[in-house]
Structures are given as structure tokens and as C-alpha cells.
Amino acid sequence: MDQNIVFAKTPIGDEAVRQSTRVVQRNMRMVLVQVDGKMTVAELGTKLGDPQLVERALRELEEGGFIAPTLEAVSVWQESKLQLERLKGAGASAISLAGSKFSPPTDLSAKSLPVSNFSTFAKPVQAAGEQFAEPVQQQEESGSTRRSPLMLAAIGLVVLLLIVVSGLLFFPYDRFKPGLEEELRKVWQTPVAIGSVQIKLLPQPGLLLSDVRIGERGDSTVDQIRLYSLFSLLGSGPYTLERIEISGGRINVDHLVGMSPLSTEQKGSAARFVAKQALIERLTVVAGPLTLNELNGEVTFLANGQMQKAALQTVDRSLRLEITPGRQGAALTAEALGWRATDISPLTFDSLQAKGWLQKGKLTIQSFDSRTMGGVLKGTWMLDWSNGLVMVGEGALERLDCRKISAIFAPSLSLEGDLIGTLRLRGAGRNWPAMWESAEASLEAVVVRGTLHGVDLGEAARRGHGALVRAGSTKFDRLAVRMAIDPRQVVGRDLTMNAGMFTAAGQFVSSRSGQVESSLQVTMQTSVSSLTLPIKVAGTLPNLQATVSR
């Protein structure tokens, strides 16, 4: 061997130095450690003290690909680096001397190396290709063996999912339509027609019933009914529906009343669909002329599928309703805060608590207690829409603000004070406006600490006979009157007014157009005398004039 050659380690050689198990013979490892790309063969032999052993070791290390002359280092380094990466990828546990350029000659393995002072081992170094060919092949075979069952399992899972999804999408869900219509008929106790039955996978799997019409003429409609617990619908039934969502539509309250406990005939039949909970969203409820828009809430059911209770509320939560089915109809409980009864009415209830019954064509409020128009209004009320509209009501008035009452019911009348009294009301008509226009009422009222604007009765009495007084106002401590109200006029009888030294008594008549005619006996008292004068009040509200008769 040329004594001036300088050898350098290849990547395999560097790896072998770091891992001691990758070079079996200690003398070769010792020589490999000393190779640094700077010392010549002669310098290595001198340093290690055995030139012949160094030369033999260098030859075998070169044949194994662990070292290379510095002139060939670049190409050998690249080729050796690629081989090292392949060996690492194969997961080899050890690297030994390899041949070709990376394999030893065939007769090298048969030679026994002479024993030297540097090693107690005299075993030949095996070629890397021979050492790792079999493990790599075994690992590839075992890897492919492991991957095959895993791949088959993944393919099987995908196929199963495709089958399930296809089954869900193409299942003939319309076959549920007759059964669903029959069960809904039992619930509503009236014919029910379903437009379509579809599958919806998002956000949760479920059946979607669209265009649901309730009643002989389809008076009530529901935009969508969504049935969850889709897998519970498999099989022949009965089917348990954990949750139902009802959104959009317009329900006649008569059909809600129809959801009372089942009849004897219906109790004997087993229900195919049993619901546990129904969520309501954006549902409009119509009770004759009354319309409650955009109600949200929840309906709960008994174990046998009968409706237990419905809790509904408006979007702004100004009105809350609780409906419980019963044999006489549906028990109704209402609570309201800042609620306006109808869109066309300016009357607003600051608070309201009411209890009553819903029956077909009829709403009966057995008791209500409300704060409105600055005071308290309590009483009963009944509305019947089975044949036109009929209402009957009775209420107790406690300190209502006359200014607010006037602003709502008689804008041309300017009256101040606190109103106390009782009101009886009755009306009938084809529709809501006609019913109120034909309404008749009787009111026994007392107004305390008030003011009547438009006429000054005290000034007229002070001026005496023949005096004419226009406009002005009359303050009083107490005003009592019995009023009869009909579509044509308002008649006030037994009117008494007390304002300290001034009193008045009489009656009045006011047309719906605001024309007033009144005859009063006014008494002015002083410390020494008493003066009584007849005064007539006439005019069109709010402009009145008082004339003292001669």
C-alpha cells in the first residue's frame, strides 16, 4: 500500500465510531478512530506501532466503505451517505464492514486475520450488504404484513360508512308519513296532512316534516317539524322521539284546545310515536281576533305520549303563557310585563297576572290582576268567537290616572285625577273593530283631587245670572257619576262635584263626536249666605262654555 495515501472517514465510518457495536474487531476500530483525513498510512503505522496491521485494517475498512482516500472522498462520501440513510431507514441494529466498493471479496471472509498486540479478536468483518440484506428484507416483509390487515380494516370501515350513509340518504322515509299523520291526528284530534318527509344530517341527523297542515280546512299550519333520534325510528315501532323542534307557522288556539287528554277510544290504542319534548320557535297563536306573534317555548309530554304542559313566551319575553290540557279544555296561566294586548291598541299592561280556560271558540279569564294606566285593574273577561265575536267583562278600577284614560279612550276630554270605580262591559260584532264600536258599558266612577279642563263653573257662579263663561278649568276634591256608554252617546247621571265651598249636581249627555250638553245646579256657600244657580254647559270638547240661566 502506498505509504503516502491519506484516508478520511465516510459517513458510515463516523457512525461506526459513535456506536461501538458497529465494528466487531477492536483493532479495526482502533485504526478507524485514528483516521482523521490528515495522517498518511506511514504516519498511522508509526503512531500505532504495527505498520502491517494498520495496512490490513485500512484495506478492510476501505473495502467496507468506512474510509476512503482523500482524493475520492467526495464521491465516496455521497455514495456512503446514501447507503447510511438506506440502512437507517431499514432500521438496522448494527453496521459492519461492507463490500463491493461496499462488499468484501468472497474469499476474505474465509481468511483468518493474524492476532496482534492490538486485538484479542481475529474474526473477519462481514460485508454490510450481506449483514443487512436479510434484516431489511424481513422488516419490509413484516411491515407489509402489518400494513395489509390495517389497510383492509380501513377499506372495510370506509365501505361500511358509505353503506350507512347511502342507506340514510336513500331510505324511503315517506313510508313514515301515514303513521306520522295518524299519530298527529290523535294528538291534535283533527286531520293532519304532511307535505313531505326528508332526511337532514346537519346539524344532527333527523327527519324533517315540511308544510304540515292541521284541521279540515288546514286552518293551522306549521312550516317545519324536525324529529331527532333518527336511529330510534328504525324497526317496526313503537318509536320514541327524544326531541322535536317545531318552527314557524300559525296555530289556531282551537287546535291547541284539541290537545286535551285522549278519549276512551284513543286510550285503548297504542301510540306508534311517543314524544318526550317539543321545542317551539317563531310560532304564531291565533285566538279569534287576538294574535300572539313569534312565540317560543317548550312542550312536555307524559309517558303515554299525551301533552302535559306547554310553556310559551314572546320573543321580548313581555308575555309568558302556560297551557295545561284538561277535560274541560285547556287551563291557561298568563304573566306579562310591559305587554301591549294588540298591535292596534295603545293600552299597555305594566304587569299582568291572569288565570282562565281555553275552550273551542272561547277564552274565559276567570281572574286577572293588572297594573295599567297608572293604577290597578282587576276583574274577569270572556271572549267568544264561535259565532262572530262576543265579549263580556267586569272590572274594579283602583286609582287609574284620568289623563292616561282620556288619552286612550277620549282624546278630546281633558280630565285629571285618580279614578276609582267599577266597570261592566259587553260587545258583539263580526270582527275586532266592529265589536268595540258596538260595545256597551256602565261605569260607576269617583274621581278624587282632579281638574276638568274646558269650563270654569266657579267663575260662572260668581258672575251670576246671565253670565257667559268660555273655557277655563274647574278644580274639585271629588267627582262622582254614573255613566252609561253605548255606540251613540255617553250619558252621565247622578253627577256630584265637591270643591270646598262650591258644589254642583246634575247630568250630562255627550255624543261620540264630542258634543256636550249638561244641566247643573251650582251652589256657592259663604260664611253668611248660600247661592244656588242653574248653569248649562254646552259645546264640543275640549271647548265648552257655561251659561248662567236667569
Convert the pLDDT of each residue in 193-233 to its tens digit: 888 877 776 667 777 888 889 888 888 899 988 877 655 55
Residue 527, phi-psi category: left (phi > 0), alpha (psi -120 to 50), beta (remainder):
alpha
Radius of gyration of the chain (CA): 52
Domain identity same for 288 and 401: no
Q: What is the pLDDT of residue 530?
A: 82
Share of the chain above pLDDT 90, in %: 28
pLDDT in tens, 124-157: 444 444 444 444 445 444 555 455 677 777 776 7
Work out the angle at residue 396's Cα, subtended by the Cα atoms of residues 393 and 398, and round it to the nearest 5 degrees.
145
Residue scoring higher pLDDT (111 or 53) = 53
Q: What is the pLDDT of residue 441?
A: 95
Backbone angles phi, psi at 116, to 5 degrees: -125, 180
Provide the 10 A C-beta neighbour count for residue 186.
19
Helix, strand or coil, per DSSP, at residue 205: coil
Tell me whether residue 151 is in a domain. no
Largest separation between any pair of C-alpha atoms in the chain? 162
Tell me whether residue 443 is in a domain. no
Residues 222 and 214 sit within 8 Å (Cβ to Cβ): yes
Residue 107: band (very low, low, confident or very high) from pLDDT cuts 50, 70, 90: very low
Tell me whether residue 303 is in a domain. yes
For the chain, counts of helices (H) and of strands (E): 12, 26
Look at the chain and report how many structural domains it folds into.
4
Section 502-520 average pLDDT: 92
In the structure grid, which three cell numbers stand for residue 59, read together? 484495506
Q: What is the pLDDT of residue 128?
A: 41
In the structure grid, which three cell numbers stand for residue 2, read together? 502506498
Section 409-423 average pLDDT: 92
Minimum mean pLDDT range among 297-306, 364-373, 391-400: 297-306
Rounded CA-CA distance 92/133 in Å is 10
Residue 296, phi-psi category: left (phi > 0), alpha (psi -120 to 50), beta (remainder):
beta
Q: What is the pLDDT of residue 431?
A: 86
Residues 6 and 43 sit within 8 Å (Cβ to Cβ): no
Domain identity same for 101 and 26: yes
Choose among 231, 329, 326, 249: nearest CA to 292.
Answer: 249
Domain identity same for 320 and 389: no
Minimum mean pLDDT range among 58-62, 294-298, 450-454, 528-532: 528-532
Tell me whether residue 149 is in a domain. no
Choose among 411, 404, 403, 405: nearest CA to 423.
Answer: 405
Grid look-up 493474524 returns: 114
In the structure grid, which three cell numbers stand for residue 315, read together? 320573543
Section 356-385 average pLDDT: 93
Minimum mean pLDDT range among 158-167, 294-303, 493-502, 529-538: 158-167
Section 487-506 average pLDDT: 92
Strand partners, 492: 483, 508
Minimum mean pLDDT range among 4-13, 416-425, 505-514: 4-13
| pTM higher than the cut 0.75 | no
Backbone angles phi, psi at 541, to 5 degrees: -55, 135
Tell me whether residue 19 is in a domain. yes
Domain identity same for 287 and 399: no
Section 301-319 average pLDDT: 84
CB pairs under 8 A, 24+ apart, for 310-319?
310/256, 310/280, 312/280, 312/283, 312/285, 314/339, 319/292
Strand partners, 329: 326
Last residue of a domain, one of 292, 327, 362: 327
Sign (positive or negative) of CA dihedral 267, 270, 275, 280: negative
Backbone angles phi, psi at 472, to 5 degrees: 95, -165
Minimum mean pLDDT range among 168-172, 327-331, 390-394: 168-172
Confidence check: pLDDT of 50 > 90? no
Residue scoring higher pLDDT (101 or 219) = 219
Tell me whether residue 156 is in a domain. no
Domain identity same for 12 and 108: yes
Domain identity same for 194 and 319: yes
Domain identity same for 81 and 221: no
Q: DSSP label at 23? A: -
Helix, strand or coil, per DSSP, at residue 174: helix
How does the average pLDDT of the chain come out, rounded? 78
Tell me whether residue 439 is in a domain. no
Last residue of a domain, one of 434, 464, 499: 434
Rounded CA-CA distance 222/410 in Å is 41
Domain identity same for 346 and 320: no
Tell me whether residue 528 is in a domain. yes
Domain identity same for 369 and 459: no
Choose among 391, 300, 306: nearest CA to 341.
Answer: 391
Confidence check: pLDDT of 409 > 60? yes
Q: At what angle do helices 11-18 and 26-34 cross, to 10 degrees?
A: 120
Q: What is the pLDDT of residue 116?
A: 37
Section 469-492 average pLDDT: 93
Residue scoring higher pLDDT (232 or 356) = 356
Domain identity same for 369 and 491: no
Confidence check: pLDDT of 265 > 50? no
Q: Which domain holds residue 540?
A: 454-548
Grid look-up 262576543 returns: 390
Section 281-294 average pLDDT: 87
Rounded CA-CA distance 470/463 in Å is 13
Domain identity same for 468 and 427: no
Choose among 316, 318, 319, 321: nearest CA to 298.
Answer: 321
Domain identity same for 179 and 289: yes
User: What is the per-residue DSSP string for 226-294?
Assistant: EE--GGGG-SSS-EEES-EEEEEEEEEHHHHHTTSSPPHHHHTSPPSEEESEEEEEEEEEEETTEEEEE
